[in-house]
Structure 1
Amino acid sequence: MTAELVRGQNHPLDRSRVELRIAAGVPVVAGMTLGDERGGLPGAEAVVHPGAPRRPGVEVPDRAAAEHRLTVDLDALPAAVHRVSVLLALAARSGAPATFGAAPAPSVRLTAVDGTGLAGYTVTGLTAETAVVAVELYRRQGAWKVRAVGQGYSGGLAALLHDQGLARAAEVAAEVEAAAAPDPAQEIPAPAPVGTSAPVGTSAAGAPAAAGPVDYRHPKRRSTPAPGPTPPAPAPSGAPAADGPPPPVAGDAAGWSMEERLYNQIWGMFEDLARSVAAYRSASDFAASRLEQELDEVLADPRNRLGTAADVARATARDRHATLLTQARAALDRDLAQLTAESEVVEPALPPAFARWDNPVWQGPHVPLERPMALRLGDLHLPEVLDLRIPMLVRLPLERGLWIDSGPDSVVRGAEPGPEREFGRRELGSALTDGPPDAAEIRRLALEAAVAIAARLLAVHPAGEFAVQVIDPGGTAAQALAPLVETGFLPGPPVPGAKGVAPVLEGLIRRVDLVQMAMRSRAADALPPDLDTAEQLLIVHDFPHGFDDRAVTMLRYLADEGPAAGVHLMMVADRAQAQEFGPVLDPLWRSLLRITPVPDAHLADPWVGHAWTYEPALAPKGSQVVRQVLTRLAEARRAAARTEPAGPPLPPTH
C-alpha cells in the first residue's frame, strides 16, 4: 500500500531500484542532485538535469514536461552519495504560470519498477517559489529512506543549488534552463490556477501580487480540488484523522538492533524538526518581505499615500501577510503534532544510555553486557517549539572530549527574561535560584553536570570496563564528587594542589603510549599486568589552577591521542580564566565539544544551521537518582568481580 507522506515525514525503502513519477499539470524541469553525507554538492557533476540526464544510478528526462518519470538504482550510486534530492523548476514558457502558487500542486509518486506504489507526496503550500526540492532519498546507517521535503525557492534553481552548497550555482542553473528550453512548436497553454474564486490581483508593476488560495489539506484527504478558499474543518484536538498517517512506533527506523533503530529514529526526528522549522522561518521571512514590498509600492506614488484607497491597500497587504503567516504556522503545527506524538512513544522506550534521569528505566538494577552505541548528553529545542525536546546523543566511545563551561557566559544568550529562558529554567530540574544564576551557582551546576555524565558513563558500560579519575587542584569539588567517592568509583578525594596534577596526567599518558604500542604491534598480551585497560574518563576541574606549561602540554596530548586509546577528557572550566595561556590552548578548545550547565543556544545542526538551545541532562530537583544508580552499580560490580576475576579487553581502535 502506498504511504501518503506529509512534509517532513519519512518512509523506509525496501528495494534499491525505484521510479519517481511526477505529475505537475504544467511544464516543469525535473532533475536530481547527488549530495554527500552532509547534503552538499561537490561540483556541477552532482547535478543531473536535461543537459546531463544520466549519472551512475540515476536518469532524468531530457526536456520539460507536465509529467515525468525518473529512475534511481540505489545500489549503483557512488559510495560518496548519501542524499538524492529530486528538484522541480517551472519551465520558461509563454503563458505558463510564473510561480508554483499559481499552478496545480505537483505530486511525486515513488514506485517499484513494476509500478507497485511505495510512497506519495503532494507538494502543497507553495506561493512565490519557482523551484522546489520535492522529495529526497537519503542513506543512513546503510539503509535508504524517502522524505517529503517540499522546500521551495523564490530565487529559482540558482537559489536552490546555492543552498545545497554548489559553488557555481548560477552558471549551472543557467545551463539547466538552456538545456530545457522548449521548442516553440511544442508549447502548450497553461491551465487556469486551481481553486481560485476571484481573479488574481496585480501589483503596481503589473506582476502577480497574490496567487489563488492554496489547498493545505493532507494529500490523502484531498480528492478533486474544491472551488473557493474555505478549508475543511480541522479534526478535534488530539484526535488523529482516520485516514491520516499511521500512529508512530518506537524503533521505526533502520537498524540491526532496537538500540540502533531508536538512535536512527531520534536523529531522523532531529532532522525533521530542523527542516520543518526552516520551512516555517523561510515562509515567515517571505511574508514579511512581501508585506514590505507591497507597502513600498503603495507609498511609491505620493498621490496614493493618503486617502481611503491607500488605507484599503495597506489593510489588504497586512491581511495577506497575516494569511501567509497563518498558513505557514498551520503547516508547522501539523509537522509538530506528528513529531510530538512520535516523541511521546519514543521517550519511554529509550534504554538507559538514551534516557533522561527521570525515566523509570533508571529505577531498577542495570548491569549492561556490552557498551551502548551512544550516550545522551542533554536535550535540544528551538524557540518556535519550546515543549518539544530532542535528545542530544553522541556516539560511544567518545571521539571528542567535553568542555563544560563553568563561566558566567554560559548563561542563555540574551539575559533578558523571555519564554525560551523561562522554559529552560523551568525544565532544567536543578536547584536554580529565583533570579539569574550567579557565578558560584554556575560553577556548582557545571560540576553537577560532570558528575551526572560520569555516572551515566559508568552505568552504561559493562562491569570493570570504565573508570573515572579527577584532577581538582583547588580542592573545591569534594561535595559534588561525594557520590563517586562513597560508592568506590573514586578511591578518595582528589589530591589538591599541583602535586595532584602531574601524577595523574603522567599515568594516563603512560597508559595511552602503552596501548598505542600494543595496538600497532598487535601484542595486547604484552601489556604490563598492573595496567588498567578499562576506558578512562579524566575530569579536570577548575582549570587552569595548578597547571604549569608542562601540565598544559600533557593535557593537550591526552585530548589529541587519548580517545583512540580509551582515555577521554572532560574539562570543567571557565574559558575566560584560561586566557593567560593565550593561543596555545586554542587547539584544545577546538577539539572539545562545548556544553553548558544551564540552557544555552550555541549548538548548530548539520542540515540548516539552526541555533539550538541545549539543556544539560541533570537529575530532577531533589532527586537522589544519580547516587542510587551508583550505589546499585557498585554492588553489582563487586558481585561481578567475585565471579569474573578476568580483566576487560583493550578498548577498540577508531
Structure 2
Amino acid sequence: MIQLKAGQNIPLTGDVVRFGAKAEAALDVCALVVAENLTVFSSEDVVFYNQFATAGVVLAADEVTITLAEVRADAKAVLLVVSADPIAFPGGAGLGPVTATLSEGDTVTAEFAATPTAGETALICLEVYRRGAGWKLRAVGQGYVGGLAVLLAAHGVDVDDEPAQSDPPPRPAARSGQGVPAMTGPVSGEASTVAGAPLEVGHGVERLWMVFEDAARSAAALVSAREYAAERLDHELSLAVSDPATRNTPAAEEARRVAQQRNDELIATAEHRHQQDTEQLMRELADADQALPPALASWDSPAWDKPAVSSDGIRLGELYAIDRGPLRIPYCVPVPLNRPLWIDTESTRAVAPVVGALLARLLAAAPQRQALVDIIDLTGAFSGFTGLLAPVLNGPLITDHADISARLQAMVDAAELAELAHTSGAFPAPTEHRVLLAADFPHGYQTADAQRIGALIMRGDVIGLSTVIVGTNESDSADTTVATLSQSCRHLPTDGGTTLFDPWTGSAWQLDLDLLPQEPERQARFMRTR
C-alpha cells in the first residue's frame, strides 16, 4: 500500500476500484463524474445518498465502486468526496482528520490522510482520472468550508438550497505572495474540446497540458515530502536534546542518528518516485515530439520537414525547475489566440527571436487557411525576418507612428462588419488566420489605438485574429485604457529571473521562451508562408 501526499499520483492497473474514507465524525461519501473543466455534464453525474449510481459509478455501504471501462467515454475524471453536516460541527470545527483509501480488488492500493484546518465540512479526497488509454489516481485534499452544497456548486451542479456560507471555486495559491504570475491553460476554458474525442496527438495542447499537470503534481509531492522530512527531523532532534540530563549520552546520540537516517530515507524515497515520474514523462514527451504538428513540436522535430499539418495550439517555450531534475515541459496555448500574448520587454530588438518564433508557429498552426499578417515595427527590430513574410503581409510594415491608427481602424471596421454578418447568419466561419503584431507598445500609440486593439480582442474571433503585443508591462499604467488592455493579455516574461506558478499546485517553474534560429536557411525552413 502506498501512502500518498497531496498532489502525488500513481497509475491504476485494476479494472474496478473502490473508494472509502474514515474520520472521527460520521461521513457521507459521494462521487462526481466531471469533464475537462472539472464540472459535471449534468446532475446525473453526481453519485450520493439520494442518487446511488451513474454509468460506471455506484455507491453502496459507504463505498464508491468505479468500473473504469463503464465510465462515460467523454469524462475526464471521477472526483471522490466526503462530507458531513455543518450543523454537527459547532464553532467551525470541521471534518478533522480524514483517511481515504482506494482499493483494487481485495487489496488497498493507496491511502491518503488529510487534516483540514479551516473548518471544512466537505473534502475532495482523491481523483481517478484518465491518462491516455489508462487511468491514474491522484491525492487532492481540496476542502470546502460551506460543505457539500458549495463543493457541488463549484463543480457545476445546480444546488436547490443556497448554502449558509459560500466559498469561491478552488484556486491554486501561489507560494510567494501576491502579484506573482500564474499560468492558465485549456482547463480554464480557453480551448474548446470535442466531447468524447481522445486527448492524444489530435488534441496536442490537451495532451501536453496533461503531461504538464502530471509534472506539477509530481513536483508538489516532492516539495511536500522534503518539507515534511525537514519538519520531522527538526522535531525529532529537539526531542533528543530536550532533557539536559541525557542530551550528551550515547542514547541521545543514537536518537539523533536514527532521526537523520529516517530523514534521509524519506527524502530518498520521494526523490526516487519523482525521478521515476520524470523519466516516464520525458519518454512520453520524446514520443509525442515525433508525432505532434510543427506548431507544437520542437525545432528538431521531423514534423517541420513534412507536409504542413494544422494544430490546435502553439508552443511558447519550455518550463523547468533546476532543483527538480532535467524535465523540460513544453508550454503551449490554444490558437487562434483569443487571449492575446503580451511579451514583456524594455527592448523590442532584444526579443526579436522570440517574436520570430511566435510568428513561425502561428503560421504553421493553420496551413489550410490563408494567413494575413499586420506588423507595427516602429524601431525596425524585426527586419531580420520580415522579408520572409512578404507573401502573407496585409500591407506594408508600419514603421511610422502616424500610420498606426488607420491600419488598426481598418481592421476594426472589418471585424465589425464580420460581426454584423455573423449575427445575421450571413457570415461563415473565418477562412483566414489573421495575425496582428503590435510592437513598441505603448510608445507612439494613441489612447484611441489602445481602444482599437481592445475592440479587436473582443471581436477578433469572427475574423480569426491572433494578437501579439510587444512592450513594457502596462498593467499598472495611469492610462486606464492601456492598463485594461494589458490586464486582459497573457504576459510572457523575458526576464530569466521571473518565476511562474502552475494552475494546479502552485509549484514554481522557470520559463525559457522559444527563439527563432538565426541561420537564414533555418529561418526560411520554419517561417512557412505557403
TM-score by length of 2: 0.71
For the 8 Å contact 2:128–2:137, the answer to whether it is kept is no
Shift of 1:377: 1.9
For the 8 Å contact 1:400–1:592, the answer to whether it is kept is yes
Instruction: Give 1:267's aligned residue.
Output: 209
Instruction: Give 1:136's aligned residue.
Output: 127
Amino acid at match of 1:541: A
- Give CA deviations for 1:9-31 in whole Å, capped at 9, x if unaligned: 55799xxxx7424799xx99894
Shift of 1:468: 0.8
Partner SS for 1:137 = strand
1:540 pairs with 2:445: no
Match of 1:330 among 247, 272, 277: 272
Shift of 1:515: 0.6
Match of 2:398 among 495, 502, 505: 495
CA gap of 1:372–1:466, structure 2 versus 1, over 3 A, is same
For the 8 Å contact 2:289–2:297, the answer to whether it is kept is yes
Alignment of 1:272-283 (within 5 A): 272-283=214-225
Instruction: Give 1:595's aligned residue.
Output: 492
Aligned mates of 2:525, 2:298 — CA distance in 1: 15
Partner SS for 1:618 = coil
For the 8 Å contact 1:449–1:617, the answer to whether it is kept is yes
Alignment of 1:415-454 (within 5 A): 443-454=348-359
Match of 1:401 among 340, 347, 367: 340
For the 8 Å contact 2:316–2:358, the answer to whether it is kept is yes
Aligned mates of 2:489, 2:314 — CA distance in 1: 16
Alignment of 1:179-194 (within 5 A): none
Amino acid at match of 2:489: L
1:354 pairs with 2:296: yes
CA gap of 1:553–1:513, structure 2 versus 1, over 3 A, is same
Instruction: Give 1:475's aligned residue.
Output: 379
For the 8 Å contact 2:451–2:481, the answer to whether it is kept is no
1:285 pairs with 2:234: no
Instruction: Give 2:471's aligned residue.
Output: 573
CA gap of 1:456–1:72, structure 2 versus 1, over 3 A, is same
Aligned mates of 1:499, 1:172 — CA distance in 2: 54
Partner SS for 2:245 = helix
Shift of 1:129: 6.5
For the 8 Å contact 1:403–1:571, the answer to whether it is kept is yes
Match of 1:563 among 461, 464, 467: 461
Aligned mates of 2:13, 2:432 — CA distance in 1: 38
1:84 pairs with 2:67: no
Alignment of 1:73-152 (within 5 A): 83-86=77-80, 108-109=103-104, 122-123=109-110, 136-138=127-129, 146-149=135-138, 151=139
Amino acid at match of 2:77: R
For the 8 Å contact 1:38–1:606, the answer to whether it is kept is no
Aligned mates of 1:615, 1:144 — CA distance in 2: 31
For the 8 Å contact 2:129–2:137, the answer to whether it is kept is no
Amino acid at match of 1:330: H
For the 8 Å contact 2:498–2:510, the answer to whether it is kept is yes
For the 8 Å contact 1:121–1:148, the answer to whether it is kept is no
For the 8 Å contact 1:278–1:608, the answer to whether it is kept is yes
Aligned mates of 2:147, 2:199 — CA distance in 1: 41
Instruction: Give 1:167's aligned residue.
Output: 145
CA gap of 1:624–1:29, structure 2 versus 1, over 3 A, is farther
- Give CA deviations for 1:112-168 in whole Å, capped at 9, x if unaligned: xxxxxxxx98338x7x7789988633369xx9952132x3xxxxxxxx6xx425234
Aligned mates of 1:266, 1:346 — CA distance in 2: 9
Instruction: Give 2:65's aligned residue.
Output: 70
Aligned mates of 1:82, 1:107 — CA distance in 2: 18
Aligned mates of 1:605, 1:447 — CA distance in 2: 26
Aligned mates of 1:11, 1:308 — CA distance in 2: 46
Aligned mates of 1:389, 1:497 — CA distance in 2: 40
Amino acid at match of 1:522: G
Shift of 1:35: 7.1
CA gap of 1:171–1:574, structure 2 versus 1, over 3 A, is closer
Identity of aligned residues (%): 27
Aligned mates of 1:169, 1:545 — CA distance in 2: 51
Alignment of 1:156-235 (within 5 A): 163-168=141-146
Aligned mates of 2:520, 2:236 — CA distance in 1: 56
CA gap of 1:75–1:499, structure 2 versus 1, over 3 A, is farther
Amino acid at match of 2:502: D
Amino acid at match of 2:467: L
Amino acid at match of 1:477: A
CA gap of 1:604–1:565, structure 2 versus 1, over 3 A, is farther
Instruction: Give 2:257's aligned residue.
Output: 315
Partner SS for 1:397 = coil
Aligned mates of 1:579, 1:135 — CA distance in 2: 40
Partner SS for 1:501 = helix
CA gap of 1:623–1:617, structure 2 versus 1, over 3 A, is farther
Aligned mates of 2:245, 2:360 — CA distance in 1: 72
Shift of 1:603: 3.6
Partner SS for 2:288 = helix
Shift of 1:599: 4.5
Amino acid at match of 2:127: E
Aligned length: 453
Instruction: Give 1:387's aligned residue.
Output: 326
- Give CA deviations for 1:211-264 in whole Å, capped at 9, x if unaligned: xxxxxxxxxxxxxxxxxxxxxxxxxxxxxxxxxxxxxxxxxxx84696325544
Partner SS for 1:462 = coil
Aligned mates of 1:392, 1:619 — CA distance in 2: 16
CA gap of 1:542–1:464, structure 2 versus 1, over 3 A, is same
Shift of 1:483: 3.6
Amino acid at match of 1:54: F
Aligned mates of 1:106, 1:464 — CA distance in 2: 51
For the 8 Å contact 2:45–2:54, the answer to whether it is kept is no
Match of 1:608 among 502, 505, 512: 505
For the 8 Å contact 2:320–2:509, the answer to whether it is kept is yes
1:455 pairs with 2:336: no
Aligned mates of 2:148, 2:443 — CA distance in 1: 54
Aligned mates of 2:367, 2:227 — CA distance in 1: 51
Shift of 1:286: 1.3
Aligned mates of 1:311, 1:587 — CA distance in 2: 62
Aligned mates of 1:170, 1:299 — CA distance in 2: 46
Instruction: Give 1:524's aligned residue.
Output: 427
Which runs of 5 or more structure 2 residues have no equivalent in the other structure?
Answer: 1-7, 84-96, 117-122, 152-195
Amino acid at match of 1:357: W
Partner SS for 2:129 = strand
Aligned mates of 2:101, 2:392 — CA distance in 1: 61
Amino acid at match of 1:468: V
Shift of 1:629: 3.4
For the 8 Å contact 2:441–2:469, the answer to whether it is kept is yes
Aligned mates of 1:40, 1:311 — CA distance in 2: 54
Shift of 1:389: 1.8
CA gap of 1:509–1:347, structure 2 versus 1, over 3 A, is same
Aligned mates of 2:203, 2:10 — CA distance in 1: 16
Amino acid at match of 1:136: E
TM-score by length of 1: 0.59
Aligned mates of 2:143, 2:254 — CA distance in 1: 43
Partner SS for 1:562 = helix
Partner SS for 1:328 = helix
Aligned mates of 1:519, 1:171 — CA distance in 2: 40
For the 8 Å contact 1:542–1:572, the answer to whether it is kept is yes
